[in-house]
A and B are shown apart, each in its own frame.
Chain A
Amino acid sequence: MTNPEKRNSKPDRGSISIDEEECKGCGLCVEACPTDVLHLSEHINHYGYPSATYMGAGCTGCGICFLACPEPGAITVLRLARRPSGTVIAEHMGELAS
């Protein structure tokens, strides 16, 4: 599922996965992100909140958004790691590759 082109062109050190249906759109992660790669969506989620969204590139995996976010599981932080090939790929990879 990894995108070979992306792998060759220096991939980002981190990535973010957001559960849009858990997010309440408070904007604290957007404020906290040192590299400004999060924003609030134009789209309103099922419960009427504008969900936080990852812009898709530029995350360093610092993880401060995770602590700044008041919802238990709205934000998952991923970091690039070197692993033996053939090990289980994080389930969030599907979103990252697209």
Chain B
Amino acid sequence: MSDDLEMQYEVARSRPEAFYERFDRKDELQHQTHYCPGCGHGIIHKMVAQAIDELGIQNRTILISPVGCSVFAYYYFDVGNVQAAHGRAPAVATAVKRSRSQSIVISYQGDGDLSAIGSAEILHAANRGENISVIFVNNAIYSMTGGQVAPTTLLGQRSTTTPEGRSAEREGYPLRVSELLGALEAPVYIERVGIGDNKQIAQAYRAVRKAIENQVRGLGFSLVEILSTCPTIWKMSPVESQRWVHDVMEKTFPLGLIRERTKDAQPHETPAPAPADLRKVLGIADQARIVPHQVAKSATNLQVRVAGFGGQGVLLLGEILAEAGLNAGLEVSWLPSYGPEMRSGTSNCHVRISSEPIDSPLVTRPDVLVAMNEPSLHKFYESVPPGGWVLYNRDAMPGECKRTDLNVLARPFTQIAKDLGDARTGNMIMLGALIECTGAVPWQSVDAALRQMIKSEKWLELDRRALARGRELMREPVEEAVHEG
């Protein structure tokens, strides 16, 4: 090594520039995606972003995001975006590409989106040979909606709608979309790849890059099918999920090139239509004035807001409370409000229990706020009217929550649940405390609701213990809190 040269570490691979620096979607966790740990979408997003960087096309890329967990692609990719209706991404991509022929249009779709509800759109876009790039993420199931059978589900594979496994007689055979499209004349490039091991991941990246590069060169329709993972719905660890792609999925969906005509393809462009006076063409008149509804006086009975991270049992807590209200002969409403993610997103629900008919299921001024984490507390703290209750999942309220006109029970419910047998029953401890402090529903109807909702004996037992513990916590004298402090 000469004196003028020295060995230094240089950044070889880092966060692609096609991603935003911060993700606006949430108040917190702005540097993380909403995907579950080990999600295949994260890996494939990174491949797309990396390819956009390498091809230098960030300024003219327009991503069409689908319906499914990847609906939020627009929060992550710093490119143009149109979010399409379920399955319609190839049709929207066609419109975008034809009206802006210099843009690079990437249709990103899952298997539920592309192969079921959107089977017509992809078929015809491919048949027209639209000069677009399609990234088809196939994980053999509907994940965002909780694991229903998809056209791509493997024979014998269990799902919520094929509890005994998919059977060819009942649900048909797994749909091999790439082979189907490979029977058409127009497509120039179709390849199936996977993310089952390092070799597959490296090949998947090459294919994603190639599908996009083909469009840059104006060659025509390109599609990459990627056998991907869903650790959450498959109920496997991320590493097990990758092996499943490699060992099981690949048998039904063989990897490899299905169409390769890029060498013979001639660059071409579909001319954009001349802009017309849309208003005139469509005959749009003045928009009709929207008359606001009369707002009825709200009922005065119990209004509850339950909030936390997805997976903490927020919705179940509310549901059991509402079910208990029904059992007690009351009017009830339960309104869940959550993002498409299975875990780690925010989740909350509105519950109303009333002796009068309920006008709206919305709870904007909760008598009781159940906050299962700090962001939820901050979000709804000010909405609790004076004299209301706050149940908070920590041993003390944060310093900035200083209101003196509220009743507060701050306890580490999750930890208490863990000591009791399972951390996941923290929600039931909080429910026990809630029922004890409001007295809105009798305990018998709560127990009946529990029996209706909880099917496993083991969990019924755990949840009963948790409810009882919550009741005790609410009855415990205040002095204990002073000792803890």
Inter-subunit contact B47/A76 (CB<8 Å): no
Inter-subunit contact B32/A61 (CB<8 Å): no
CA distance A3 to B45 in the complex (A): 37
- A72 contacts which of B29, B39, B46, B205 (Cβ < 8 Å)? B46
- B31 contacts which of A61, A73, A93 (Cβ < 8 Å)? A73
Flag whether B38 is at the interface (Cβ < 8 A): yes
Inter-subunit contact A19/B41 (CB<8 Å): no
- A14 contacts which of B12, B45, B46 (Cβ < 8 Å)? B12
Residues of A within 8 A of B76 (CB): 72
Residues 17-63 (chain B) with a chain A CB within 8 angstroms: 19, 29, 31-33, 35-43, 45-47, 49-50
CA distance A81 to B36 in the complex (A): 36
What per-residue 1/0 map shows which CB atoms of B3-17 lie under 8 Å from chain A? 111111111111110
Question: Which listed segment binds A: B132-140, B176-184, B236-244?
Answer: B236-244
CA distance A14 to B8 in the complex (A): 10
Inter-subunit contact A72/B19 (CB<8 Å): yes
Inter-subunit contact B29/A79 (CB<8 Å): no
Interface size on A, residues (CB 8 A): 46
Residues of B within 8 A of A21 (CB): 31
Tell me the minimal C-beta distance from A57 to chain B in angstroms.
13
Tell me the minimal C-beta distance from A11 to chain B in angstroms.
6
CA distance A83 to B4 in the complex (A): 8
Residues of A within 8 A of B10 (CB): 78-81, 83, 90
Given contacts A61-B12, A72-B45, A76-B13, contact A84 B38 (CB under 8 A): no
Flag whether B198 is at the interface (Cβ < 8 A): yes
Residues of B within 8 A of A24 (CB): 32, 36-38, 344
Flag whether B201 is at the interface (Cβ < 8 A): yes
Inter-subunit contact A70/B198 (CB<8 Å): no
Inter-subunit contact A90/B8 (CB<8 Å): yes
Given contacts A70-B46, A73-B14, A77-B13, contact A25 B37 (CB under 8 A): yes
Given contacts A79-B12, A83-B10, A90-B8, contact A27 B198 (CB under 8 A): no
> Which A residue's beta carbon lies closest to that of B28?
A47
Residues of A within 8 A of B31 (CB): 19, 21-22, 73
CA distance A75 to B3 in the complex (A): 32
> Which A residue's beta carbon lies closest to that of B41?
A70
CA distance A66 to B10 in the complex (A): 15
Inter-subunit contact A93/B242 (CB<8 Å): no
Flag whether A64 is at the interface (Cβ < 8 A): yes
Residues of A within 8 A of B38 (CB): 24, 26-28, 70
CA distance A2 to B1 in the complex (A): 16
CA distance A64 to B202 in the complex (A): 8
CA distance A47 to B458 in the complex (A): 29
Given contacts A24-B38, A26-B38, contact A83 B5 (CB under 8 A): yes
Tell me the minimal C-beta distance from A24 to chain B in angstroms.
4
> Which B residue's beta carbon lies closest to that of A49?
B37
CA distance A46 to B220 in the complex (A): 47
Given contacts A7-B7, A32-B201, contact A67 B238 (CB under 8 A): no
> Which A residue's beta carbon lies closest to that of B21?
A73
> Which B residue's beta carbon lies closest to that of A25?
B37
CA distance A24 to B35 in the complex (A): 10
CA distance A60 to B202 in the complex (A): 17
Given contacts A63-B12, A70-B41, contact A28 B5 (CB under 8 A): no
Residues 13-35 (chain A) with a chain B CB within 8 angstroms: 14-15, 19, 21-22, 24-28, 31-32, 34
Given contacts A76-B14, A82-B6, contact A67 B1 (CB under 8 A): no
Inter-subunit contact B9/A79 (CB<8 Å): yes
CA distance A21 to B239 in the complex (A): 21
Inter-subunit contact A2/B32 (CB<8 Å): no
Given contacts A21-B31, A83-B6, contact A72 B201 (CB under 8 A): no
- A80 contacts which of B8, B29, B49 (Cβ < 8 Å)? B8
Residues of B within 8 A of A26 (CB): 37-38, 231, 238
**Cβ contacts A to B, 13 pairs, < 8 Å:** A2-B8, A24-B38, A26-B231, A27-B237, A64-B201, A70-B40, A70-B43, A76-B14, A77-B12, A80-B8, A82-B7, A83-B10, A93-B8
Given contacts A27-B239, A85-B4, A92-B11, 19 further A-B pairs with CB under 8 A are: A2-B7, A28-B242, A47-B29, A47-B344, A64-B201, A67-B43, A70-B35, A70-B38, A73-B19, A76-B15, A77-B11, A78-B11, A78-B12, A81-B9, A83-B10, A84-B5, A89-B8, A90-B11, A93-B8
Please give the residue numbers on chain B whose beta carbons come within 8 Å of chain A beta carbons, in ascending order: 1, 3-16, 19, 29, 31-33, 35-43, 45-47, 49-50, 76, 198, 201-202, 205, 231, 237-239, 242, 344
